[in-house]
Structure 1
Amino acid sequence: MDAAKTGGDVLFVLMGAVMVLAMHCGFALLEVGTVRRKNQVNALVKILSDFAMSTIAYFFIGYTVAYGIDFFTDAQTLIGKGSGGFAAYGYDLVKFFFLATFAAAVPAIVSGGIAERARFWPQAAATLALIALFYPLMEGTVWGTRFGLQAWMAASFGQPFHDFAGSVVVHAFGGWVALGAVLNLGNRRGRYRANGSLVAIPPSNIPFLALGAWVLCVGWFGFNVMSAQVLDGVTGLVALNSLMAMVGGIVTSLVISRTDPGFVHNGALAGLVAVCAGSDVMHPLGALITGGVAGLLFVWAFNKCQIDWKIDDVLGVWPLHGLCGLTGGLLAGVFGQEALGGLGGVSILSQIVGTLGGAGFGFAAGLAVYGLLRVTVGIRLDPEQEYKGADLSLHHITAYPEEDAPGM
């Protein structure tokens, strides 16, 4: 029975890892559909390369920072047949795979904010730094219960900080890192006229954008439900809450944006971002409200950033992940309360401290990493490269070579 249970847990977590891996295809397609045609190849290469860089950084350094575990031993020990403390059937290995796909979501989030004007190799260096050190410090503090912060919050506020599937650990952190990166990078050339008015740059391909959003939505049920990490911990409540938050985000973004397709598809993602933290403790009605609030917040904040605040966050990753993740962390402390139909075990004060602390740490990390790269090696394409587009400038091919190269 023990063997069957452990084997089942391995398969369960492996399925989750594969579903979250597929979400990176969604990140890529969402960016491809949003950026201009001359930057679509760059989006594809960047997301895949950042995933590889993240995995390497996480394997050699990041996972040890977060959990105090490394894999520098023989394979017999890694699959639980030695004396190294690893679980049978390689459970710890698929758990690493699962959590590595979460870690790689951070640079995938940042990628959408800095699109169309960022240099390739400095971004790869930023990914290595973020996933080797800054993200694991956040992850280890919350999920690894390292560094004593969770124990302090439990003693001070009655409960530790609750973030079941990463509204704050992954999404708010990544979104606030992206804000720091965007501020260091500056706006795209030609995005604003001399008088400060916005120059409209519509999405290049709505079907790709929509397909990316759909892939992300489907994969998100692995992201949330399989955050239980063992079969004994799985619950249909997480699945239903994820669904309700998703549709809540769709409906409110649909109404407030007057059926804009970009906002509607991102509204679904806004709801899913927000519900991650409390998906295991909220009542489905609380999840619906959480998603609805996130959909409204995303549309409002995206427009404020682009029009009033003149922050050229191309895919709106700070509103989507940064602000909606922050909102989800806070609302987990509200709708997780038993008085509002939740399962309890959450503290509003812990949620405030943990959520604001996580967002602040992400913003500081983004400013530090991208600021250092900016003053040392530079992080931005030169004007001619940006005008030609990252595809030709960096990869020497476009997404549509027969159309873009005369005579072919």
Structure 2
Amino acid sequence: MDTLQQLSSGLDTVWVVLTAAMILLMEGGFALLEAGFVRQKNAVSIIMKVFVDISFGALIFYFVGFGLMYGKDAGGFIGTSGFFMGGDLTHINLNISHETYWLFQCAFVIAVISIVSGAVAERINFRAYILYTIAMTGLIYPIAGHWVWSVGGWLGKLGMVDFAGSAVIHALGGFAALAAAMIIGPRIGKFSADGSANIVPPSNLPLASVGAFILWFGWFGFNSGSTLSATNSSIGHIAVTTMLSAAAGSATCILFTMLRYRKSDPPMVINGALAGLVGITAGCAFVSDVAAILIGAVCGIAMVYATEILEAKQIDDPVGAFPVHGVSGSIGTIAVGLFAQPDAVREGTAGLFYGGGFSLLGIQALGLVTVCLWGYIMTWASLKLIQKVAALRVSRDEELVGLDVGTHGVPAYSQEDGFIDLQHLKKN
């Protein structure tokens, strides 16, 4: 390897490791966001689930997930090598090592399971959550990712485009979250006998907002890092479209909720920024700045309506996982088929509004529906199987006292002269 090639490889390695670390820091954002949105008595349970996401997610993806996702292709549907980072990986032809690439993809898989975590907050059984984490990181996400991102994946060969994961990560995770929320049911007291929704006040909105800011920061690694190259000329453009879409999502929610509710709704504004980030993830490298603003604005409004629809259907999603990730991820995936600039995706292609016709749009729609159905159905099936060996939901008493004390034996915030009878907890 000559000196110039060594320098290029070294720069790319530093860039990918750095952006992988930024994505991993997003777990701190998820932890703060969800802990701020749920009630105080369940804050520790959020933190514990994030540790499950990181620890079990990384190990299972190393053992199984990476091989299924990026291993040597078998019929366009599954990988057959790369388990424990061994076997034939020569088809992954990058300017970085396979271990570096694994690290970056590992950060992605941890983000996927964290999406589902919020939708089942305050009532899922901890053991069942560990088992589902294994299913998502070892099977559900890797196979969907293989279809789109691997060498030989059938959706990728058709021409589906998802630069950093609006479909593969966010729509998949969002529809998985929807299935999980439907199966596990709403929190006690969330809905009245007449079907109306009761407000469950967030415990700490400043904490949630800090979590959103950390996620916003990490998203620059999420999107720009997907170039896998420190010298890629599109990094700046990707960062700008990411920023503009998030700002548009947040600004739109500020104005829209002022008109709709007579007050600017803080949780909606927080989720509006995240919706804009999710929406731009698929097309951040391929759409113009103006298109990015439009995508973010549409995602922000759609997120508000989706949240209202869920409550009307009596589906309890405490942090808005489906409206933010499922709905916005779907919009962002379709937006590529509408707004992709000529030759930005590949030579000879463009979105519908740039004279490319319906070809790319149709492929995006097919891929989106496939990935969403896969996430929803496989989550439903996984949780039904898990239910045979572990309760999906905590007991009524545990839910009422809070998962922090009921499941983990410790509150998030200690009170002066307060004591917990751990022996009593263990007996019950």
Same fold, TM-score > 0.5, yes or no = yes
- Rounded to whole Å, the distance in 2 between the matches of 1:58 and 1:138 is 14
Q: What is the CA distance between 1:205 and its match in structure 2? A: 0.1
The amino acid of 1:265's aligned partner reads I
User: Aligned equivalents of 2:333 and 2:316: distance in 1?
Assistant: 25
Q: 1:105 to 1:404 in 2, by over 3 A?
A: farther
Contact residue 282 and residue 336 of structure 2 kept, 8 A = yes
Q: Percent identity over the alignment? A: 34
Residue 157 (structure 1) aligns with = none
The residue number in structure 2 matching 1:40 is 43
Q: Equivalent residue of 1:292, what SS?
A: helix
Structure 1: distance between partners of 2:390 and 2:245:
42
Take 1:131 and 1:73, find their aligned partners in 2: how far apart are those partners? Answer: 15
Structure 2 equivalent of residue 313 of structure 1: 317
What is residue 97 of structure 1 aligned with on the other side? Answer: 103
Q: CA deviation at 1:249?
A: 0.2
Structure 1 outlier segments of 4+, above 4 Å: 71-74, 83-90, 339-346
Query: C-alpha distance in 2, partners of 1:393/1:129?
Result: 25
Q: 2:82 maps to what in 1? A: 70
- 1:261 CA drift (Å): 1.1
Aligned to 1:25: 28
What residue is the counterpart of 1:162 in the other structure?
A: 161
CA offset at residue 232 of structure 1? Answer: 3.8
- CA root-mean-square deviation: 2.5
Q: Does 1:253 align with 2:253?
A: yes
Which of 133, 144, 149 matches 1:127? 133
Aligned length: 394
Compared CA separation, residues 297 and 89, structure 1 to 2 (3 A): closer
SS of structure 2 residue aligned to 1:252: helix
Please give the TM-score of this superposition, normalised by the length of structure 1. Answer: 0.91
On the 8 A contact 1:225/1:234 being kept in 2, the answer is no
TM norm structure 2: 0.87
Q: CA deviation at 1:147?
A: 4.1
Q: Provide Cα deviations, 1:17-40, integer angstroms capped at 9, x if missing partner.
A: 000000010001000000000000
In 2, Cα distance between the equivalents of 1:84 and 1:97? 17
Q: Note closer, same or farther for the CA distance 1:401–1:335 as it changes in structure 2 (3 Å cut).
A: same
Structure 1 position 359 matched with structure 2 position 363: no
Q: Which runs of 5+ in 1 are unaligned?
A: 154-159
Greater Cα offset, 92-101 or 213-222: 92-101
Cα distance between partner residues in 1 of 2:275 and 2:51: 23
Q: Which runs of 5+ in 2 are unaligned?
A: 72-80, 259-263, 343-349, 422-428
In structure 1, what is the equivalent of residue 297 of structure 2?
Answer: 292
Equivalences for residues 2-401 of structure 1 within 5 A: 2-68=5-71, 69-70=81-82, 72=84, 91-151=97-157, 153=158, 160-235=159-234, 236-258=236-258, 259-306=264-311, 308-338=312-342, 347-401=360-414
C-alpha distance in 1 between matches for 2:37 and 2:55: 23
Distance 1:359 1:103, change over 3 A: same
Inter-partner Cα distance in structure 2 for 1:224 and 1:136: 19
> Is the CA contact (8 Å cut-off) linking 2:125 and 2:394 kept in structure 1?
yes
Matching residue's letter, 2:127? W
- Output the CA distance in 2 between the equivalents of 1:347 and 1:312: 35
User: In the superposition, relative to structure 1, how do residues 87 and 403 fare at CA in structure 2: closer, same or farther (>3 Å)?
Assistant: farther
The amino acid of 1:331's aligned partner reads A
Deviation at 1:87, TM superposition (A): 8.0
